[in-house]
Chain A
Amino acid sequence: MTILQSLAYLALFLVLPPLLPGVVNRVKSRLAGRQGPPLWQLYADLARLARKGAVYSRTTTWVFRAGPVVGLAAVASAGLLMAFGGAPAALSFAGDFILFAYLLALARFATVLAALDTGSSFEGMGAAREVTFASLAEPALFLCLITLARATGSISLSGMLGPALPLAWSRAAPALLLAAIALFVVALAENARIPVDDPNTHLELTMIHEVMVLDHSGPDLALILYGASLKLFLFGALFVRLVLGFSVQGLAGLGVFLAGVVAFAALIGVVESIMARLRLVRVPQLLVGASVLSAFGLVLLLR
C-alpha cells in the first residue's frame, strides 16, 4: 500500500509540475484584471519546443549540451528523496536531506556551467548572480531542514515530513512557523520568483535566471523549463507538508496535498502581484534575514 502510494506520488511529481507556473500566471493575470494564458500553457510550450530542432553556437562544447540533461536528471532524482504529502519517499536513508539539497545545487551547477560555456559575458553575469544568491539561500534552506530534523528527531526527509510532524507541531509550533516562513523565502529565491528575480522581464540589468538559459533552444529549453517546474513543485511539496503538518491518510491526504500545492502556487502569484522586485543589493538582505529567522527557530528548539 505504502509503495503504491509512493509510486502514485512520484507519477504525479512527473506529470503535474508544468501546471504550477500556469496557476501562478493565472493568479497574476486575474489580480491584474486580465484573462491570462490557459493553465496548461506550459504543456503546450513543452510540446512545441520538443518538436523543434536545437541551435548550438560554435563556441560551445559538450558541457553546454550536458547542462539541461544533468539539470533535469538531478532535480528528478531529488524527487525520489522527497516525502510527498508525508507518504514515505521512494528512497530514504539517514541524512538524505543533505543529498536532496545538493542534488538541487547540482542542477544549478550544471545550468551555470552551461551558461559559462557559451562564453557570453552576459550569461556569465547571470551565472555570477545566480551563484551569489544561491550561496546565501543555501544556509537558510539547511537551517530550516535542521530545525525540522531537531523538532521531529529524525534526519531523513521521510521521517521529518512523516508521522512525527504533527507531534512536532504541537510541541514546537513557533520554531516550525519560523522555519516555514524562511522556507517560503528560500523557495521564492530558488525558483527565481519575484522579490528576487522577475521571471517575466528580459531586461538585461535585472535578469538572473532567465539570462543563463538564453542560448538554449528547442528540446534543451524544454528540458530546462520542465526542470524548473519540477523544482517549484518540490519546494511546494516541502512547504505544504511543513505547513499542513497533520496526518491524513489515503486519498484525502492526496487531495489535501494537491490542494496545498496549488495554494502554494497561488500564494506565489499573489506575492508576485503585490510586490516589486527588490533591487539586487537588497536581495542578500532578504536571504540573510531568512537565515536569521530559521536560525532563531533552531535556537528556540535547542535551549
Chain B
Amino acid sequence: MRMSAWTEMVFILVVVLDFFLLASSRLKAVIRAAAAQGALLAVMPLLLAWHTTELGHVLALSIGALVVKGIVIPRLLLWAIREASIRREVEPIVGFIPSLILGGVGVALAFAFSSAMPLPTPEQHAFIVPTALSTVWTGLLLVVSRRKAVSQVIGFLVLENGVFVFGLLLSDFMPAMVEAGVLLDLFAAVFVMGIVMFHINREFSSLDTEKLSVLKD
C-alpha cells in the first residue's frame, strides 16, 4: 500500500474510535479507546512529516503525545475508576443511540464541508480538518451528554485530541514549546479533575455530577 493510504487509514481509525467512544457504556473500554486514539495521534506527525528536515521536532511531538495521551492519562483514569469502583455509564443525558447518530451527522457534515474552509496554510492531507472537526464534535458531545464525571473527563480528552489533529496543520510552524505547554495543560487538567472526582466520590459515594446541582450552602 502506498504511504498516503496508510495515513488515510490512521485518520479513519481515529474517526471510527470516535464512534466507539460515543456508543460504548463501559468506562474501561471507553478509556482504552481514548488511549488508542491518543496513540494513533502520536503516529500522525511521523506519517505526515516523515520527509521534513526537523525530524527532532516531529519526534518530540510524537513521543510527547504517546506518553501523555496514550499512557499516563489513561492510567490515571483507570486508577480513578478503580478507586471509585464504577464500571459503566448508566443513563446518559443524551442516550447512546441518539448520540451515535448525532456523532454520525457531525462527521458527515465535517467531511462534506471541510474543504470549503479557508486555511492559512496549505493542507498536508485532505483528512486533517474533517478528522479534527469530527473529533472535537465527539468530545463536545461526550462532555455535555454524560452524567459521570469520568466520562466528562474522557470527553475533554477527546476534545483535546481533536485540537491536536488540527494542530498538525501547523506542525511545521508550531514551536515544540507550545505543544509541550498544551500537553502539560491537558495533563494538569486531567490530574485536577481526577482529584475532584475522587472528592465527589468520597462525598456522595457516586460520581454522578447531577448531584452537584442540588448543593446548597
Contact = CB atoms under 8 A, between A and B. Distances in A.
B52 interface: no
A109 interface: no
Interface string B111-128: 110010000000000000
A8 interface: no
A174 B7 CA distance: 11
A288 B101 contact: yes
B178 interface: no
Interface stretch (B9-17, B58-66, B67-75, B193-201): B9-17
Interface string A149-185: 0000000000000000000000001100010000000
Interface in B1-55: 1, 5, 8-9, 12, 15-16, 19, 23
B104 A285 contact: no
Contacts of B104: 291-292, 295-296
Given A292-B19, A299-B112, A178 B12 contact: yes
A293 interface: yes
B107 interface: yes
B100 interface: yes
Contact of B8 (A174, A299, A302): A174
Contacts of A295: 104, 108
B103 interface: yes
A289 B112 contact: no
A285 B1 CA distance: 33
A24 to B, nearest CB: 26
B96 interface: yes
A296 B15 contact: yes
Given A284-B97, A285-B23, A303-B111, A292 B12 contact: no
Contacts of A289: 19, 23, 100
B5 A288 contact: no
| B contact residues, range | 20 to 34
A98 interface: no
Contacts of A284: 97
Interface string A12-46: 00000000000000000000000000000000000
A293 B19 contact: yes
Which applies to chain A's interface (DSSP): helix, strand, loop or mixed?
A: helix
Nearest to B5: A173
Contacts of A300: 12, 111
A299 B23 contact: no
A299 B109 CA distance: 9
A293 B16 contact: yes
Interface string A259-296: 00000000000000000000000001100110111011
Contacts of B9: 173-174
Contact of A303 (B15, B23, B115): B115
Nearest to A175: B12
A166 B211 CA distance: 56
Contact of A292 (B103, B111, B112): B103
Contacts of B19: 289, 292-293, 296
B62 to A, nearest CB: 22
A284 B98 CA distance: 11
Interface of A: 173-174, 178, 284-285, 288-289, 291-293, 295-296, 299-300, 302-303
21 contacts: A173-B1, A173-B9, A285-B23, A285-B97, A285-B100, A288-B97, A288-B100, A288-B101, A289-B100, A291-B104, A292-B100, A292-B101, A292-B103, A293-B16, A296-B12, A296-B16, A296-B107, A299-B107, A300-B12, A303-B111, A303-B112
Interface of B: 1, 5, 8-9, 12, 15-16, 19, 23, 96-97, 100-101, 103-104, 107-108, 111-112, 115
Closest 3 CB pairs of A and B: A292-B104, A174-B12, A299-B108
